[in-house]
Amino acid sequence: MTPDTPFVLSRVEPLPSNVVRRFFSCFFKPETLYKSFKVALVVGPILISINYFDVLIQGRVTWLCAAKIGLTFLVPFCVSGYATATTLMAQCCQED
């Protein structure tokens, strides 16, 4: 690519709808949600203590900060759910 050539992103093909449906089916299984919830209960407070320790100690928690703290639990929940759902999908594909 020369300096004159514009950068062009290649087209990304959309996922087939059955893959998306299967992913969400695996994500919302009770065992996936339970595992993700447990991970969020362990990892969430660790992330909160790393990111908001000074604010909590000083007692300067605002509504915005409280909302961010609440959303902090969502990160490990989603990551664990994604990992579990994709693992379940891979296991289903191997069994077929």
Tens of pLDDT, residue by residue over 33-73, are: 999 999 999 999 999 999 999 999 999 999 999 999 999 99
Q: What is the mean pLDDT of residues 6-35?
A: 84
The Cα–Cα gap between 79 and 40 comes to: 9
Whole-number pLDDT of residue 17: 80
Whole-number pLDDT of residue 14: 74
Reported as a pLDDT band with limits 50, 70 and 90, residue 9 is low
Reported as a pLDDT band with limits 50, 70 and 90, residue 84 is very high
